[in-house]
């Protein structure tokens, strides 16, 4: 079990996470949804120990979660200038013994010997993804992994997530688009104003769109009809 216990996090005077608490079952795929600014990335940064909390903690199997437990694919990936894709990957330790670079690259088709500045947005995302799956960790976080990916790589990412789940890894995925989460997640958690407000199991996935967007659709239709 991963237990998020009463986490608060503020930036200057703005509270981003507000007494956040939630238990996450292990070996499942957890989707995290929420509007912009709901606190998804801050939650992931804390989960991966990239950021400290103001108060509260996260336990993994009843022990304080450590950076070594987590592989984290950030929303925006930063690459050191003038290094090649291959050099970037070699920085990360190969702990996933099944990982075969050449084989995976037949699928992702990256020009490894070129400097990363020559890569497109999608290619950079794929490279960062490869650095993540090269590592064997019990927890994987994918923050907005679908941004910038082409359709084929979207499919490949779904297969990767399912494969990690088969290996009993616990996976967190966020997305601004609901549909890819519906395909891969076992549970979806709604983050609103810094707190988890609702959890949806697979059986209730059909309700998500209805519950989330019913009111919005009504008011949006009215506003757009009046103003555009």
Contact residues for another protein (CB under 8 A)? Answer: 49-50, 64-67, 72, 74, 77-84, 86-88, 90-93, 113-115, 117-118, 131
Closest CA to 130 of 98, 158, 105: 105
Nearer to another protein, 113 or 214 (CB): 113
By beta-carbon proximity to another protein, the closer residue of 51 and 177 is 51
The token duo for 196 is 């988890």
Residue 49 C-beta: closest distance to another protein, Å: 5
Least distance (Å) between residue 150 CB and another protein: 21
Q: How far is the CB of 208 from another protein (least distance, A)?
A: 31
Tell me the closest approach of the beta carbon of residue 129 to another protein, in angstroms: 12
Question: Rounded to the nearest 5 degrees, what angle is found at the Cα of 160, between the Cα atoms of 125 and 32?
Answer: 75
User: Which is nearest to 69 in space by CA: 192, 210, 169?
Assistant: 169
3-class SS of residue 118: helix
Shortest distance (Å) from residue 222 CB to another protein? 34
- Backbone torsions φ then ψ of 88, nearest 5 degrees: -60, -45
Closest among 44, 50, 48, 49 to 20, alpha carbons compared: 44
Q: How far is the CB of 177 from another protein (least distance, A)?
A: 25
Task: Round to whole Å and give the CA distance between 191 and 33.
Answer: 6
Smaller CB distance to another protein: residue 62 or 93?
93
> For residues 111 and 148, which CB has a smaller minimum distance to another protein in the complex?
111
Alpha helices in the chain (DSSP H): 40-47, 85-91, 101-108, 121-133, 151-166, 178-184, 205-227
- Of 115 and 156, the one with the shorter C-beta distance to another protein is 115
Q: Pick the closer one to another protein by CB: 93 or 179.
A: 93
């Amino acid at each position: 079990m991963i237990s998020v216990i009463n986490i608060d996090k503020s930036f200057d005077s703005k509270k981003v996470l507000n007494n956040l608490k939630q238990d996450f079952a292990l070996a499942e795929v957890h989707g995290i949804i929420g509007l912009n600014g709901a606190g998804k990335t801050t939650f992931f940064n804390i989960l991966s120990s990239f950021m400290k909390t103001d108060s509260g903690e996260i336990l993994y199997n009843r022990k304080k979660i450590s950076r070594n437990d987590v592989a984290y694919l950030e929303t925006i990936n930063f690459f050191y200038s003038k290094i090649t894709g291959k050099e970037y990957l070699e920085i990360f330790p190969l702990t996933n013994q099944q990982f075969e670079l050449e084989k995976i690259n037949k699928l992702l088709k990256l020009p490894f010997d070129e400097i990363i500045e020559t890569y497109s947005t999608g290619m950079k995302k794929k490279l960062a993804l490869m650095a993540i799956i090269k590592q064997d960790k019990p927890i994987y976080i994918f923050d907005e992994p679908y941004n910038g990916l082409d359709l084929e790589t979207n499919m490949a990412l779904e297969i990767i997530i399912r494969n990690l789940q088969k290996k009993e890894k616990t996976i967190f995925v966020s997305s601004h688009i609901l549909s890819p989460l519906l395909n891969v997640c076992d549970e979806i958690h709604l983050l609103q104003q810094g707190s988890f407000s609702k959890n949806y199991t697979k059986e209730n996935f059909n309700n998500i769109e209805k519950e989330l967007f019913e009111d919005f659709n009504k008011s949006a239709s009215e506003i757009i009809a009046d103003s555009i």
